[in-house]
A and B are shown apart, each in its own frame.
Chain A
């Protein structure tokens, strides 16, 4: 039991290590990804803050939406992660992973952690950007630790969801279509840029089933001064962890099918 757990962890870290090494050789990608959050915060955020259309209590709108935009970056980076599995299948890399004595769930967890590593670099950029725009971000160690954990969990959930989709559709074209189809609804059916109270009833119901809602909620409660977590940090983290474990188990079962 202990041996299997140790092996699972070390294999997961090995798969993630490969990703970290890739990023080190080609860090440019990290910077091109920052364009989207810049647009949201600088353009969308500034305009909406002017019109004061969204009730955010005592919080400035930009402060309210910053955690939402970080969550969105995590979502966008991770949800297209599944395409890499299709790519790696076509290259034969997936086949080599599968033939090695690596638990299937460790391959999936390693990929999930890889998305987390990329998302953390994004979080750093969003923090810097927000600070420049005058958002009062919290830099207390415990808050930062919470942000790191929540970003890793969020990335793992969306990357694994994306892997599951890729395992089912198996081709790049179909994957891109579905990826586009789910991304925006996940974003809009969440509390990222407006509070849940503002939504019509049916959308509220959907947003409570949306993992992004809990990622945003936890980030809002930890990364900006005066931010409040509606559901409670502990609840958010516990729920996200359960979602992640379930998704990793499903993806671990589906993963070998892509190589057939």
Chain B
């Protein structure tokens, strides 16, 4: 198990964002955490990547405790936040260079890895242009390159294709699959797009209001709910999605990301 959680819980002022989550992700798997806005997906990812300490329970990444051995965990992971987080006022190549250094990519290999990554992401002609001039899809690809330059064991992606057009989404999917093929990277992603989970993930965990409600391969989930596609399975499993999920801030954040990507 490359990622394992044990009754992982996070509370914010009386509100429980993640509630006793037990989860296991296998080495080399593409695992998708699904759920409506406010289900606790981002909070879960932030606990696994050491940004947020759990209120109770434990989590292990690559065999290390995310709280007690956080610096060791950080050596084995990459993270692409939901927000578009490349530095816009420097070039794509410079973004790779700086983060490569922060992630301890050996200096001798850094330049070559950065150039190769740009080529691989279809950005070789744009490497020396300011990121400000990139399209949303290009920024996303750059960010995936940036977070995998050090060949992490686990790559965490929070809503990697939100706001992207269909062509750009597919390009991102291909890159994620390739990373797993080439380096055996385990991918842990969150999404609320069913087609994305269906096309990409080996296994899916569905969350609602901080609790896991279902876990299995896409085919298994369709079978247990007696539905023909994941959208229906999802609605069946989460109940009325419109009810209270997601607050203004979540939705604003989604919109901001989408606008910047636009």
Residues in A lying within 8 Å of B, measured CB to CB? 10-11, 14-15, 17-18, 21-22, 25-26, 90-93, 95-102, 256, 259-260
Q: Does B51 contact A (CB under 8 A)?
A: yes
List the A side residues contacting B130 at CB < 8 Å: 25
Are B87 and A93 in contact (CB-based, < 8 A)? yes
List the B side residues contacting A26 at CB < 8 Å: 89
7 of the cross-chain contacts (CB-CB < 8 Å) are: A11-B102, A91-B85, A92-B83, A92-B84, A93-B87, A95-B83, A259-B51
Q: Give Cα A21 to B91, complex, Å.
A: 9
Q: Does B44 contact A (CB under 8 A)?
A: no
Known contacts A99-B51, A101-B104, A18 near B85 by CB under 8 Å:
no
List the A side residues contacting B74 at CB < 8 Å: 99-101
List the A side residues contacting B94 at CB < 8 Å: 18, 21
Q: Give Cα A18 to B93, complex, Å.
A: 12
Name the residue on B nearest A106 (C-beta): B102
Are B101 and A10 in contact (CB-based, < 8 A)? yes
Residue of B50, B82, B83, B101 near A99 (CB, 8 A) is B50
Q: Could you tell me the distance in whole angstroms from the C-beta of A112 to the nearest C-beta in chain B? A: 17
Q: Could you tell me the distance in whole angstroms from the C-beta of A162 to the nearest C-beta in chain B? A: 20
List the A side residues contacting B91 at CB < 8 Å: 25
Q: Give Cα A14 to B210, complex, Å.
A: 38
Residue of B71, B85, B101 near A96 (CB, 8 A) is B85
List the B side residues contacting A11 at CB < 8 Å: 101-102
Are B83 and A97 in contact (CB-based, < 8 A)? no
Q: Does B251 contact A (CB under 8 A)?
A: no
Are A100 and B51 in contact (CB-based, < 8 A)? no
Known contacts A26-B89, A100-B103, A92 near B82 by CB under 8 Å:
yes
Residues in B lying within 8 Å of A, measured CB to CB? 46, 49-52, 71, 74-75, 77-79, 81-85, 87, 89-91, 94, 98-99, 101-104, 130, 146-147
Q: Could you tell me the distance in whole angstroms from the C-beta of A32 to the nearest C-beta in chain B? A: 16
Residue of B71, B82, B89, B90 near A101 (CB, 8 A) is B71
Residue of B51, B71, B77, B78 near A260 (CB, 8 A) is B51
Known contacts A92-B84, A100-B74, A260-B51, A22 near B90 by CB under 8 Å:
yes
Known contacts A99-B51, A101-B74, A260-B52, A18 near B87 by CB under 8 Å:
yes
Known contacts A90-B83, A91-B83, A92-B81, A102 near B51 by CB under 8 Å:
no
Tell which of A17, A18, A96, A102 has the most Cβ of chain B within 10 Å. Answer: A96
Are B51 and A14 in contact (CB-based, < 8 A)? no
Of all A-B residue pairs in the complex, the 7 with the closest CB atoms, nearest first, are A92-B85, A92-B83, A92-B81, A100-B102, A99-B79, A101-B74, A14-B101
Q: Give Cα A33 to B101, complex, Å.
A: 31
Q: Give Cα A166 to B85, complex, Å.
A: 19
Residue of A22, A97, A99 near B49 (CB, 8 A) is A99
Known contacts A101-B74, A101-B75, A93 near B102 by CB under 8 Å:
no
Q: Give Cα A11 to B87, complex, Å.
A: 17
List the B side residues contacting A90 at CB < 8 Å: 83
Are B84 and A96 in contact (CB-based, < 8 A)? no
List the A side residues contacting B81 at CB < 8 Å: 92, 95-96
Are A18 and B90 in contact (CB-based, < 8 A)? yes
List the A side residues contacting B50 at CB < 8 Å: 98-99
Name the residue on B nearest A17 (C-beta): B98
